[in-house]
Structure 1
Amino acid sequence: MKKLLVLLLLAFASHAQSSFEKKSFETKEGQVLPYQILLPKDYKPGKKYPLLVVLHGAGERGTDNEAQMKYGKSVFLDSLNRINFQAIVIFPQCPKESYWSSVKINRSTVPTTFIFDYSAPINWPLQAVIDLVKSIKHDKSRTYIMGLSMGGMGTMEAVSRYPKMFAAANPICGGADLSYVSKYAKRVPLWVHHGDADIVVPVRHSRELVKAVQDQGAEIKYSEYAGVNHNSWDNAFKQPELLSWIFSHRK
């Protein structure tokens, strides 16, 4: 009986380390942020691992703690990636009534008009992500963030507001309030992705971000995908150097 119990516990531990686990984070104000977390393969509690946050797009908002896993999940569950890139990966979920980034949106135009303004208070879901990251034991010199569409916008706002926190960032088809560029241009390496045929988030937002960083005398990596519409995350997640680029950086 004891042997069977030990085997069951080992099996459970193995399963927990090979898949995402659903959790939630409660803010001081009582708001609840759902998230899923993947621990490194053969996770050792006493060891400090890198941590990567992945922010989803507007279509995956909700409270089911499942929709946010629609894009990118398979990259981090890939068996070789789990061996080569030992890291904690977090997929938080933004509620439908909110947005990762502080941005005014006019959907009556084609493409949609986005006006970014970080002088406005940070939206509570993004602040909750920051507080969640702070609460998790990990290698603080290797904290990373990436996101697609609304998540790409949230990625840039997080980097703008907390430039000392992140070692690298990957915004995909997003945008940013460019008045904050000087805070992170020479501090946080960026790899920006966008499709040049995007009819949802204009590619000019990424082009302007790249130019603004370069104008600060900093280097920036940019991948613009010819003929690709809003789903440039498909191309970004297929980049063979995506994870090696991210995890190669440290503060």
Structure 2
Amino acid sequence: MLKNIGVIGLWAIVFLNCTTHAQLIEDQQQVSVTENLRYYLYFPEPYEAEPEKEFGLLLFLHGGGESGANLDEIKKNGPPKLLAEGKQFPFLVLAPQNPHKKKFWNIQAVNQLLDSVVSRYRIDPQRIYLSGLSRGGSAAWDMAVQYPNKFAALAVVCGMAPVPYAHWLDKNMPIWVFHGADDPIISVSESDAMVAKLKEMGYDVQYNRYEGVGHDSWTKAFTTEALYSWLNEQKRAD
């Protein structure tokens, strides 16, 4: 009997110990996330010639294939490719590089970079445009959702779309979506569903759905000259 009582007593002590550690304890601590972002920044020719003028800025987020540590990789597609070929834009272009080959964009870090660039140069905060392709297109949707009061216009190419949060987007921000109908990587249904939802809610959205085009719909999208004049015309009402 004494031996059995001892075992029961020991079990009771262990049980009480577990109960104590299982309590819900309220606490808090400050955490910080840092990211090393390399980037290209393009200045239009009139920037130096017109020292009193503020300019618009396009934030461009590349796709997964250009991620990593070689900054020249981002010149393969989109506006950086056109700039490398000598194209001129009427606004600044900020093109950061996602340093992670197999991670999504850290949009909080990108937003901090954007704020830093805007504060350092003559940029009109009411004329900040956002665009991205593929993984960068997905990040562009996310940034527009998370920071709805920041962008004057949004252009997304073949990105995954956060349809359930479409109503978080600024209804006064015009949107232009591009996608290849035969995209095997990110299904065109992503853009189909997002555009349909936005139109249902009365958003200003236009859609280029390229029949017979796969994932590289960015080739046609970013050589659409009307895209850049459209961006340059936009300005936030607030």
Q: Normalising TM by the smaller chain, what interval?
A: 0.7 to 0.9
| CA distances 1:99-158 after superposition (whole Å, capped 9, x unpaired) | 12xxxxxxxxxxxxxxxxxxxxxxxx3211111111123100000111110011011000
| Distance in 1 separating the partners of 2:173 and 2:149 | 8
| Distance in 1 separating the partners of 2:44 and 2:110 | 20
Matched, 1:87 2:91: yes
| Distance in 2 separating the partners of 1:241 and 1:215 | 25
Question: What residue in structure 2 maps to residue 20 of structure 1?
Answer: none
Aligned length, in residue pairs: 197
Aligned partner letter, 1:34: R
Closer, same or farther in 2 for the Cα pair 1:78/1:241, shift >3 Å?
farther
Aligned partner letter, 1:163: P
Aligned partner letter, 2:188: V
Question: What residue in structure 2 maps to residue 99 of structure 1?
Answer: 104
| Distance in 2 separating the partners of 1:51 and 1:200 | 29
| Distance in 2 separating the partners of 1:224 and 1:42 | 35
Question: What residue in structure 1 maps to residue 174 of structure 2?
Answer: 189
Aligned partner letter, 1:37: L
Matched, 1:38 2:42: yes
Matched, 1:52 2:54: no
Closer, same or farther in 2 for the Cα pair 1:169/1:89, shift >3 Å?
same
Question: What residue in structure 2 maps to residue 104 of structure 1?
Answer: none
Matched, 1:168 2:172: no
Matched, 1:68 2:53: no
Q: Match for 2:108 among 90, 109, 127?
A: 127
Aligned partner letter, 2:63: G
Aligned partner letter, 2:213: V
TM-score scaled by length of structure 1: 0.74
| Distance in 1 separating the partners of 2:218 and 2:159 | 11
* 2:156/2:177 contact within 8 Å kept: yes
Aligned partner letter, 1:53: L
CA-atom RMSD in angstroms: 1.8
| Distance in 2 separating the partners of 1:133 and 1:31 | 13
Identity of aligned residues (%): 35
**Structure 2 unmatched ranges of 5 or more:** 1-31
Matched, 1:158 2:162: no
Following TM superposition, by how much is the alpha carbon of 1:77 offset from its aligned partner in structure 2, in angstroms? 5.5
* 2:74/2:81 contact within 8 Å kept: no
Closer, same or farther in 2 for the Cα pair 1:246/1:76, shift >3 Å?
farther
* 1:147/1:170 contact within 8 Å kept: yes
**Structure with greater helix percent:** 2
Question: What residue in structure 2 maps to residue 17 of structure 1?
Answer: none
| Distance in 2 separating the partners of 1:184 and 1:30 | 26
TM-score scaled by length of structure 2: 0.77
SS in 2 for 1:98: coil
Closer, same or farther in 2 for the Cα pair 1:61/1:78, shift >3 Å?
closer
The structure number with the bigger radius of gyration is 2
Aligned partner letter, 1:134: D
